[in-house]
Amino acid sequence: MTEDSKRKAAKVLTTYGEYLGVEPSASALLEEAIRYRVLHPEPVTDSEVVPKERSKSSAELELASEYVGTLAQRDPERAAEWLQTLPDGDAKWWAAKNLHVLWSNFDPQAANRWKSLLPVAQQKAVDALPDSDE
């Protein structure tokens, strides 16, 4: 399968997966599609206008954060495990921040314990992100 075909398949799965019967909280295929899109963001053409507040990989960032949020509602530990399969970068840091915030809503001690076990560089990257109310 060519890279272009893989990119298209990953986009279809992440965009229309729920309509295709892909269960978002328990699908290894969906997880792999999101991970693929994070690793291989869609190229931005010269004709596209990308707002300054949004990076070229904002779709991938949102996918990772939303998926972690979906997993966290049922199993935050599973969400934390999946998060570690993402490559270091904005998508991973934002997803980690979102996981910590969501998990803190119902078990702050567990959320803080998880965050404290992250490598120091990851903790710093997550802490450096602005809060949603900023």
Each residue of 28-81: pLDDT tens digit? 777 888 888 888 777 665 554 544 444 545 788 888 888 898 888 889 999 999
| Per-residue pLDDT at 13 exceeds 90 | no
Q: Determine the pLDDT at residue 26.
A: 54
Whole-model pTM: value is 0.72
Torsion, Cα 112 113 119 120, to 10 degrees, reads 50
Chain centroid to Cα 100, Å, comes to 13
Q: How is residue 107 annotated by DSSP? A: -
